[in-house]
Structure 1
């Protein structure tokens, strides 16, 4: 069996590779990172310590900004402003550069910080460095080394916190928007904290960066507390190669990829089961809305997301293993619980099609609600999880997502540049979907998803509790111990599901290309017979049906058994096409059952002719069709490495030319007698197997 599974795997992966890899999910390109030791801790907010002040110098503007503050807060800010005018800084970067004492606190008074010195033309040395730097393959921006960042910190960053430890930056206003860092689309990052263990951001906002508002990298210990990121081409908050991190009470909106991206977090639980001692990053009480994604995380390992809200995005959450060369692949061990993932139906792909997203950043209209999707996703998906392992989804309210509550699939290793054979099948295993409230709001209102769960059928050891309205009707149940009752042991996805994911991944925003046969893309989505899986189902049904008719008329015309089989098989094929059109419909397993029963009768009839070997092959196709009906209609069959559907398709590939030969080679004047009524009837010679 292992050898057979390996052979099937080689065939399947080779087929995908020959087609060419579809466009990968967007992420970001960065220098190689070091593995953190994990000896840090989540920093604690401090009220005392060495303090630096940052403010602007216009008293009238400052007075206007604090006029509505509560009396105590207004008085405190007035006092700080007087002190800042005497000995403070006018730019945040100046204060960062002046912070030399451990545990320094930088208090930033209300105002808009454009950081004019940081956007001055680069020195000749830095300009030469930028021109000679390695550039990313996707976006084309310079990917600077650590030494290059230190030498020229403002090539990519408006504010650069490089190598500073235990620095705390906090706004002194009444809300995060009172202190606003505005990159004006002149820098890749508004704020970058790199190798900045213990950094703490509080009560401030950043906006209009070419990539990220807040970027924390290669840092052990950070907090993003009451912060807002908006109107960035990619991310509001991006943390990468980090440990001991906390996002709390944050908000992100108007971002082309996502509000929150804890990508490549420390892979501290990679060798464990579900019993994890801690998580590398925690996200709590955050709000991601009006982005392409509320949350995304390529290799978002060991992230705990809870009590947060992801609404009114294109899709709510995505965590994946679909981008090459990220540390920590495949994605694993994240937990999402008690979140609201709802009404993620906003279609931003119109801005790709009409050319808005080809304009310069500042002309696109991000401030007026334009979002330029960096990734191709189903409009109306609550959760998208291609290629995750050991994830837990528990007690979330997931509703009013018009495509599906969940979309999950496997990701073969070559997509992420992993080439070993075993890595082609190492994703989408041991995930738990426990007690999620599907299609009902937190207020008890009925707000159904399009379907609750779309799955390509691949994975080992995953299970679900109380999950109805799924594309595969027989998702395996979890027992009372939250372990799989029977579970699955599939290393390849369903053929139709894999084909669909491959086609839909062909999105390319830069070329303004949306796949025409995919049903993901809102106003541009394929419908009915336009969908790739329906096209293939219809095409296959036509070919198989015509061959069955041909076999009957050329070889089995006198057999009543064959006539009944023909009617059942053709009827099953028709019903199956309608079942493919309507995701999750009972018509799909019913169609397979009719098709399998019909082929059984045709195969038995052929066994009584000179085409007896073709009859055996027909019976084999019938067996796998009937197993598929059980697999999709009654119980997902455990302990088999691939689905009956894949085996049936492989059998049909052999059967089609064989049956065609039998149709063409049959004598035009002869008909095959039913052996049940005329066992002595002569038969035409059987053609060789194709």
Structure 2
């Protein structure tokens, strides 16, 4: 590893070690392994079911089916009559009767509370030797799930193969499996290769409505999930999966979460033979996140709608113990991602989310966010690689259409120095329609792109506007072609400070970091503004001190009777220095003030202009102080500031692992200390010198 890159990686490691403790809190699961990939996506079977599930209240049943089309109503009445004689009353009872692969369970319209499963654990199940997660539940092994299936699950489907579970109603809401906030999961399908869920609703859990784990081959078809502390759909460590025509809302994390999808494309470029999970024609709305994908690898999401969430979709490498990290190879195309401007943190602030889940009011629109995210964002890629976003419509996301930032490997629990900057690489954003609704109405996003600057091989389509940085690498005609690319191991320093601060959110402790605009800070209250103000005050004070010293020297020179020995050349040089310092100070102080305004407005162009003005001051001051090492150092610092402005406004400077902002920031600290020494009064032998000699020293 080259020395500069090694130093940069060490800096990334240091930043990772400073990560807030709250970053360890997320979905925790037992150690899992990916399927071998030999399965396939199951296909809907249409023959008569093997097992029937129904309730006994005929009047209630007839009311539920009264509005169905005639043929569907007649089918349900026939099945109801059969079910009274040969069926069961609870879905779990039917699952327990499955004794061979390929069986089908039909659930008739009704509300299924699964009363026998609600009882609290007793005996051995009440004393399982398993670790407790930070969220207050035990991390149970598969064997413990089999031994005690209802410690955490209302309906536990364990080890069944090619099982189909289908509601017989006209829509998902005709069959409701309701956990009533008594269980972590409404339905858990664990090691259930070939499982097919269709036409039902699962709701009201303290974790997740429908959970599919370590499964090769699953389908979620016309299923609705809602009102959960965490996720609507969670599929984990699985392959050959399909979500189709589903819906999810009212969830504190993601409506759809294909986490740790089988990592079949790891190490590949953009040439992808297949995807592990397909998500199509689903709607996810009124959640903290419409889509969440920690290690959401090899997921193809197309023709979906993500709207009215805090964030439309995220994929990330943030949480440890998720197989398949860092996240890679998601393909998002032809999705509509819009109006993701909800701010549910108000329910954290007012104490609503501190109540028991059943008392929070999820059914009335309350959502209790479990994650710290920037509301108003269409898509966030937090430490992902080789993701492609094309032909999507993104409009009226008031923060940004796309956010991309890197995540050091230590955050996910990896200490290898060579891996610390291994995320945020080769992501492509191309041919997306930004700021225009499908009707043609102009509905701009707050900005099109927010990027921290880290990574290599990332590119964006032409025509993106209001981006930070202001100039972005452009995608070529075919992957991995691009122009104006960069290779940065560390993000911009101010953006790292912002991400570090904002990541200190903690749902359990109701901790909302002050200074982060994700949680309501604005203008002078934003950490970016405070950092800019602090730096401007220090540099402004130094500028004023140099100006004051120059004017004092001029007054001494001008107050000497008849010049009294001041050589003419020395006097003229002093006047030139005064003019340079005075003009430079005006320019510099203007730039420093503008930098604070730019930070408050989050405007990279204003920031670039401010940097150019500050650079003008540095160069003028250095020229006035020549000769001497400090003078030349000041000029070099000014030139670096020009490079920083160019990097932000015109184009990222290639072939450097650190942006000029890092070098400028570090050298500015050295310069300020040197300036203090330079300005400090010194006891010298000036009393023995002529006024002209003293002017020369000044």
Flag the structure with larger Rg: 2
In the alignment, what sits opposite 1:644? 660
Native 8 Å contact 2:25 2:135 kept in 1 = no
Native 8 Å contact 1:270 1:332 kept in 2 = yes
Separation of aligned partners in 2, 1:527 and 1:102: 58
Q: Deviations over 1:47-80 (max 9, x none)?
A: 1376111111111111001000000000011111
Of 548, 552, 567, which residue of structure 2 is paired with 1:553? 548
Q: Deviations over 1:584-643 (max 9, x none)?
A: 3421111111111221121222222xxx11122212221211001111111111111111
Native 8 Å contact 1:50 1:103 kept in 2 = no
Work out whether 1:261 is the aligned partner of 2:229.
Answer: no
CA gap 1:670/1:567 in 2 versus in 1, 3 angstroms: farther
Of 595, 599, 602, which residue of structure 1 is paired with 2:621? 602
Work out whether 1:220 is the aligned partner of 2:216.
Answer: yes
Equivalent residue runs for 1:311-390 within 5 Å: 311-390=307-386
CA gap 1:538/1:353 in 2 versus in 1, 3 angstroms: same
In the alignment, what sits opposite 1:529? 524
Q: Look up the SS of the partner of 1:263 in the other structure.
A: coil
Work out whether 1:632 is the aligned partner of 2:648.
Answer: yes
Q: Deviations over 1:653-676 (max 9, x none)?
A: 1111111111114579989xxxxx
Equivalent residue runs for 1:263-302 within 5 Å: 263-302=259-298
In the alignment, what sits opposite 1:675? none
In the alignment, what sits opposite 2:171? 175
- How far off its partner does 1:480 sit? 2.7
Equivalent residue runs for 1:54-453 within 5 Å: 54-129=53-128, 132-136=129-133, 138-453=134-449
Q: Look up the SS of the partner of 2:100 in the other structure.
A: coil
Of 476, 480, 487, which residue of structure 1 is paired with 2:477? 480
Structure 1 unaligned regions, length at least 5:
672-677, 685-690
Structure 2 unaligned regions, length at least 5:
554-573
CA gap 1:16/1:338 in 2 versus in 1, 3 angstroms: same
Equivalent residue runs for 1:456-475 within 5 Å: 456-465=452-461, 466-475=463-472
In the alignment, what sits opposite 2:493? 495
- How far off its partner does 1:506 sit? 1.2
Separation of aligned partners in 2, 1:679 and 1:175: 95
Native 8 Å contact 2:327 2:384 kept in 1 = yes
Separation of aligned partners in 2, 1:541 and 1:679: 35
Work out whether 1:588 is the aligned partner of 2:586.
Answer: no
Separation of aligned partners in 2, 1:679 and 1:580: 45
Q: Look up the SS of the partner of 1:254 in the other structure.
A: strand
Q: Deviations over 1:305-333 (max 9, x none)?
A: 11000111111111111111211111110
CA gap 1:467/1:519 in 2 versus in 1, 3 angstroms: same
Native 8 Å contact 1:230 1:253 kept in 2 = yes
CA gap 1:670/1:547 in 2 versus in 1, 3 angstroms: farther
Native 8 Å contact 2:8 2:657 kept in 1 = no
Separation of aligned partners in 2, 1:511 and 1:21: 13
Q: Look up the SS of the partner of 1:393 in the other structure.
A: strand
Native 8 Å contact 2:615 2:639 kept in 1 = yes
Separation of aligned partners in 2, 1:269 and 1:162: 28
- How far off its partner does 1:394 sit? 0.7
- How far off its partner does 1:119 sit? 1.1
Native 8 Å contact 1:314 1:378 kept in 2 = yes
Q: Deviations over 1:318-356 (max 9, x none)?
A: 111111121111111001111111111111111111111
- How far off its partner does 1:9 sit? 3.2
Q: Look up the SS of the partner of 1:370 in the other structure.
A: coil
Separation of aligned partners in 1, 2:204 and 2:184: 9
In the alignment, what sits opposite 2:632? 616
Native 8 Å contact 1:551 1:659 kept in 2 = no
Question: What count of residue pairs does the alignment treat as equivalent?
Answer: 668
- How far off its partner does 1:563 sit? 2.5
Native 8 Å contact 1:49 1:103 kept in 2 = no
Equivalent residue runs for 1:37-52 within 5 Å: 37-48=36-47, 51-52=50-51
- How far off its partner does 1:428 sit? 0.6
CA gap 1:20/1:27 in 2 versus in 1, 3 angstroms: closer
Separation of aligned partners in 2, 1:140 and 1:118: 20
TM-score by length of 2: 0.93
Native 8 Å contact 1:555 1:666 kept in 2 = no
Q: Look up the SS of the partner of 2:76 in the other structure.
A: helix
RMSD: 1.9
Separation of aligned partners in 1, 2:681 and 2:7: 33
Native 8 Å contact 2:249 2:286 kept in 1 = yes
Separation of aligned partners in 2, 1:670 and 1:644: 41
Q: Look up the SS of the partner of 2:482 in the other structure.
A: coil
In the alignment, what sits opposite 1:519? 517
Separation of aligned partners in 2, 1:588 and 1:434: 27
In the alignment, what sits opposite 1:5? 5
Work out whether 1:543 is the aligned partner of 2:541.
Answer: no
- How far off its partner does 1:549 sit? 2.4
Native 8 Å contact 1:517 1:526 kept in 2 = yes
- How far off its partner does 1:302 sit? 0.7
Separation of aligned partners in 2, 1:668 and 1:541: 32
TM-score by length of 1: 0.94
- How far off its partner does 1:479 sit? 2.2
Native 8 Å contact 2:12 2:408 kept in 1 = no
